[in-house]
Amino acid sequence: MPQKRLSVVVTRRLPEAVETRLTELFDVTLRDDDTPMTRAELASAMSGADVLVPTVTDQIDAGLIGQAGERLKLIANYGAGIDHIDVETARRRGILVANTPGVMTDDTADMVMALMLAVTRRMQEGLAVMQRGEWEGWAPTAFLGSRLGGKRLGILGMGRIGQAVAKRAHAFGMQIHYHNRRRLRPETEDALEATWWESLDQMVARMDVISVNCPHTPSTFHLLNARRLKLLKPTAVIVNTSRGEVIDESALTRMLKAGEIAGAGLDVYQHGIKGNPELVNMANVVMLPHMGSATMEGRIEMGEKVLLNVKTFADGHRPPDQVVPSMQ
């Protein structure tokens, strides 16, 4: 099949450079407005296209995959996380799934540090005072936060992003600890000066800061559940740039309200902003709208990965970033 004829539906607006390149290479249907597709729109997109390019805001579940047209052969996700796609059902239907790993690692790790600093250095409170025009000058005891240097950072999930966080946090003088299903190779562990904890419970109980960097899978859903959160020190801070589902957010909210944990920096939520509205106005909680990978450079590189996945598939090969069900 000549490449030009491969029909590709993109579910969201992408950076212009990415849309232009896709249009040059394929018969592309782009989205006019930047709202997520409805389920009916997704179903219709999946009924006639060869390739679907969705994002994290599209729930590509078994029902939708079951109804997909015979033509659909590739779901080339724009993004690394694939918890919104039923990869196993896609595999059974003979539909390949690909994602865009690696290119958002540094941007997300930068955001972990930004959130860590924002919470521990009380930036939210400082910003609010400035925005309200209420600042009355420097004071020896105003806005005292806590120092990152010398503190214990527990990284939950030591993949690419976790390791990039470890490097940054190490440069800030933090002591690096991690929990991961598989222990890192000794040379990697040594290079990061990282300590592995087999027991998540034991690690959680001893950390000053926890950074969630594992993907959301059935085995990481509510990994930080109410019981585990209770193990945290009352002075501990949690940062989550992975997926909201990894933390029991209602339990976290209750603990933040009760002062049983010092603060949280959140970029992701299980139920969006409506899930736990009380979090929004807490002085010790910094909330961002899922912007961990939101740099122009990163989003263009994600587009390049999508292009390469689709193009390689169009040329009759497996996409370089093919996802297999065991990765979920």
Q: Which residues here bind ligand O=CC(=O)O, judged by CB under 6 A?
A: 56, 79-81, 104, 293
Nearest residue (CB) to ligand O=CC(=O)O, 6 versus 14: 14
Instruction: Give the nearest distance from C-beta 215 to ligand O=CC(=O)O in angstroms.
Output: 8
- The CA-to-CA distance between both ends of the chain, in Å, stands at 32
Q: Tokens 């069900």 map to which residue?
A: 325
Smallest distance, ligand O=CC(=O)O to C-beta of residue 183, A? 25
In angstroms, the CA 207 to CA 131 distance is 33
Distances (CA, A) of 64 to 275, 279, 328: 25, 33, 18
Residue 85 burial class via C-beta count within 10 angstroms: exposed 0-12, middle 13-18, buried 19 and up:
buried
Q: Position of tokens 């790993």?
A: 101
Closest separation in Å from C-beta 164 to ligand O=CC(=O)O? 14
- Rg (C-alpha) for the chain, rounded Å, is 21
Q: How far is the CB of 165 from ligand O=CC(=O)O (least distance, A)?
A: 15
Name the residue nearer to ligand O=CC(=O)O (CB basis): 284 or 328. Answer: 328
Beta-bridge partners for 263: 237
Q: How far is the CB of 185 from ligand O=CC(=O)O (least distance, A)?
A: 25
Q: How far is the CB of 176 from ligand O=CC(=O)O (least distance, A)?
A: 23
Give the shortest CB-81-to-ligand O=CC(=O)O separation in angstroms: 3
Q: Please, are residues 157 and 215 in contact by the beta-carbon 8 Å criterion?
A: yes
Task: Report how far residue 102's alpha carbon sits from residue 187's, in angstroms, rounded to the nearest whole number.
Answer: 21
Please state at what angle helix 105-120 crosses helix 296-314, rounded to 10 degrees: 150
**Which CB atom, from 82 or from 203, has the smaller least distance to ligand O=CC(=O)O?**
82
CB closer to ligand O=CC(=O)O, 81 vs 154: 81
Single out the residue of 89, 219, 316 nearest to residue 75, CA to CA: 89
Q: Which is nearer to ligand O=CC(=O)O, 157 or 261 (CB)?
A: 157
Comparing CB distances to ligand O=CC(=O)O, the nearer of 54 and 79 is: 79
Q: Which is nearer to ligand O=CC(=O)O, 83 or 208 (CB)?
A: 83
Contact, 192 vs 167, CB < 8 A? yes
